[in-house]
Amino acid sequence: MQVVFHLGAHCTDEDGLIRALGPDRGRLKEAGVSVPEPARYRMKLRDALYTLKGAPADSALQQEILTAAGHDSPPKRLVFSHEFFTCLPDRVVTKRGFYQMVPDKLGPLANLFPEAQVEFHMALINPAVLMPALVARQRKSSYEELIAGQDPRSLRWAPVVRRMVEAAEGRPLILWCNEDMPLIWPEILRSLTGLNEGARLSGDEALLEQIIEPEGLERLHVYLRSHPPRSATQRRKVVTAFLEKFARPETLEIDISLPGWDAGLIAAMTADYDADIAEIAAMPGVRFIAS
């Protein structure tokens, strides 16, 4: 059995990938791919991780998890998704640093199904965007509490991913940029499900439906039907052109207003993020879905 853990990160797709796969659950099941509704299994996984404390699950507990996910017997490929697999939102930054808990979670997650072929998938997000989003989302926590005394420039992905590669112990680690998701959404769906590039999925345009004006979306559908892309690269070029012309302005606006933050800091953090992504994309042990 192949088991996929989609880890988030926080403030990225907000369960959008799993919702996009929902209409195709029947077709996916025929291919041996299970994408259960998260509400079915999240509490069971949380309880199992707490009980095991990193130890391998026995066959009885594995069957309990499968049953919670709606299975009497193991499917060929099983997809679990939850940003809380990494940590709670108010633990993204701690006195230890940025996402320091994430690498330590991979082994215990893999041990839920110790004999399975386990994969880890995760979106990365610019910390200059992530922190304002966390502050807006965690209304009971102040910015000062969420930043935990850390310098914003210290919120770097490359050190986290290097530790994740080590913790994955050779298991596939598939990463992408949240900022690229409108262009690579179909590739991410196929990466999660294990389907080939040519497979059709109902949710291929689910994200574009949220960010492109209705008129532009209809024109895009007509264009794609009359000019089917020959490759993922060609499709990205088409989508980029339509986004430039028809993207809803409000979906492109990001309000970054935090104490002590100015344009210089945001630009520096974004440059650090770009440098980290270039390093991560070249890391051995990482499969990076690039735009």
The pLDDT value given to residue 249:
84
pLDDT digits (tens, 9 = 90+) for 246-289: 999 887 777 888 999 999 999 999 999 999 999 999 999 999 99
Q: At what angle do helices 263-281 and 127-137 cross, to 10 degrees?
A: 110
The answer on pLDDT for 183 being more than 90 is: yes
pLDDT digits (tens, 9 = 90+) for 65-75: 999 999 999 99
pLDDT category of residue 40 using cuts at 50, 70 and 90? very high
For residue 245, give the amino acid letter: K
Query: How far, in Å, are 197, 214, 239 from residue 204 at the CA level?
Result: 12, 16, 12
Strand arrangement, sheet containing 117-124: 33-34, 77-81, 2-6, 117-124, 173-177, 287-289
Record the tokens describing residue 94, joined without a space.
């701690």
Q: Is the peptide bond before 9 cis (omega within 30 degrees of 0)?
A: yes
Question: Whole-prediction pTM value?
Answer: 0.94
The pLDDT value given to residue 258:
94
pLDDT digits (tens, 9 = 90+) for 83-99: 889 999 999 999 999 99
The pLDDT value given to residue 60:
97
The pLDDT value given to residue 84:
87
Record the tokens describing residue 167, joined without a space.
């913790």
Average pLDDT over residues 156-176: 98
pLDDT digits (tens, 9 = 90+) for 118-140: 999 999 999 999 999 999 999 89
Comparing C-alpha atoms, which of 134, 35, 124, 22 is closest to residue 76? 35
Nearest-angstrom CA–CA distance, 261 and 9: 23
